[in-house]
C-alpha cells in the first residue's frame, strides 16, 4: 500500500453568507478545480430564476411535494428562508460521503446548525462576508435576477444572517474572487489531512512500522 491508498472519510463543506456575498460564484469555481468535491443540490419551493436549471441549481418542487419529503425523513436538514422552504436531500449526501467524496453545501445558518447537531465531526463550515454593505447591494443589483423589492428584502435580511458568523469554523471576506477561491481550497486541503478523517492511516502506519523494524 502506498500513501495514495490511505482511505479517507468524505467531509461536508458548508458555505453560508448573506445573499449576494458570492457563495454561488465561489462554489462553482471550486467544483471546476476539485474533482473529489460534489455539490449538494437542494430542494426548494422558490420559483426558478432566469437561467437556473432543474437538478443543477435546485430541485424546484411544490409546497406539498416538499412537505412529503420532510415527513418521509428524506431531508438531512431543512429551513424556511425568505418565506420559501429549502432542504438537503439525504440520500445523495450519504452515498457520496461513504465513497470518500466531499460534498459542498450552499445553505443558511439554520441548516448548518442542524448538520452540526447530526454530524459535527464531518462538518467544515465557512462563512463568507461581503467587503462592505454598499458592495453587497451593488452585487445584488448587478446579478439582476431579482426584482427591486426582492433585493430590498435580501438587504434587510443580511444583518440577521451575518449575526451568525461566529458559529462557523472559518470566516472569509470575499473581496477578490481568486483570493476567496484560494482560501477555501486551503481550508479544504488542511481539513482533508486531519488525522481522524484519514481512516486508513492506522493500517498504513502499521505497515510502515512493520517493514521498518
Ligand X SMILES: Nc1nc2c(ncn2[C@@H]2O[C@H](COP(=O)(O)OP(=O)(O)O)[C@@H](O)[C@H]2O)c(=O)[nH]1
Q: How many CA atoms lie within 13 A of 192 on its CB side?
A: 19
Query: Is there binding between residue 106 and ligand X (CB under 6 A)?
Result: yes
Residue 10's binding partner, choosing from ligand X, ligand ADP, none, with beta-carbon cut-off 5 to 8 A by kind?
none
Q: Residue 164 in contact with residue 153, Cβ under 8 Å?
A: no
Query: Is there binding between residue 24 and ligand ADP (CB under 6 A)?
Result: yes
User: Which three cell numbers mark 129?
Assistant: 462576508
How deeply is 71 buried, as exposed, middle or buried, from its count of CB atoms within 10 A (0-12, 13-18, 19+)? Answer: exposed
Q: Is 18 annotated as a binding residue?
A: yes
Query: Is there binding between residue 162 and ligand X (CB under 6 A)?
Result: no
**Using the rule CB under 6 A, which residue among 6, 8, 9, 25 binds ligand ADP?**
25
Q: Rounded to the nearest whole angstrom, what is the least distance from the CB of residue 64 to ligand ADP in the complex?
A: 27
- Site track for ligand ADP across 135-174, x = CB under 6 A: ----x--xx------------------------------x
Residue 115's binding partner, choosing from ligand ADP, ligand X, none, with beta-carbon cut-off 5 to 8 A by kind?
none
- Site track for ligand ADP across 67-96, x = CB under 6 A: ------------------------------
Query: Is there binding between residue 88 and ligand X (CB under 6 A)?
Result: yes
Residue 25's binding partner, choosing from ligand ADP, ligand X, none, with beta-carbon cut-off 5 to 8 A by kind?
ligand ADP
User: Which three cell numbers mark 166?
Assistant: 461566529
User: Can you tell me the distance from the alpha carbon of 91 to that of 105, in angstroms, rounded to the nearest whole number?
Assistant: 14
How deeply is 2 buried, as exposed, middle or buried, from its count of CB atoms within 10 A (0-12, 13-18, 19+)? Answer: exposed
Query: Is there binding between residue 22 and ligand ADP (CB under 6 A)?
Result: yes
Three-class secondary structure assignment of 94-133? HHHHHCCCEEEEECCHHHHHHHHHHHHHHEEEEEEECCCH
Amino acid at each position: 500500500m502506498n500513501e495514495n491508498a490511505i482511505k479517507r472519510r468524505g467531509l461536508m463543506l458548508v458555505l453560508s453568507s448573506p445573499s449576494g456575498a458570492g457563495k454561488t460564484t465561489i462554489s462553482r469555481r471550486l467544483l471546476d478545480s476539485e474533482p473529489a468535491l460534489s455539490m449538494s443540490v437542494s430542494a426548494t419551493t422558490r420559483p426558478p430564476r432566469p437561467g437556473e436549471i432543474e437538478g443543477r441549481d435546485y430541485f424546484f418542487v411544490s409546497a406539498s411535494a416538499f412537505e412529503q419529503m420532510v415527513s418521509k425523513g428524506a431531508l438531512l436538514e431543512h429551513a424556511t428562508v425568505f418565506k420559501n422552504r429549502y432542504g438537503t436531500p439525504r440520500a445523495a449526501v450519504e452515498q457520496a460521503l461513504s465513497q470518500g467524496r466531499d460534498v459542498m453545501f450552499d445553505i443558511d445558518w439554520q441548516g448548518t446548525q442542524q448538520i452540526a447537531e447530526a454530524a459535527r465531526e464531518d462538518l467544515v463550515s465557512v462563512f463568507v462576508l461581503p467587503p462592505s454593505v454598499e458592495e453587497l447591494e451593488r452585487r445584488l443589483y448587478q446579478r439582476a435576477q431579482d426584482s427591486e423589492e426582492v433585493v430590498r428584502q435580501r438587504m434587510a435580511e443580511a444583518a440577521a444572517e451575518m449575526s451568525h458568523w461566529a458559529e462557523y469554523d472559518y470566516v472569509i471576506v470575499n473581496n477578490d474572487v481568486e483570493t476567496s477561491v484560494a482560501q477555501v481550497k486551503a481550508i479544504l486541503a488542511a481539513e482533508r489531512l486531519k488525522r481522524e478523517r484519514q481512516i486508513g492511516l492506522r493500517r498504513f502506519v502499521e505497515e510502515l512500522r512493520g517493514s521498518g523494524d
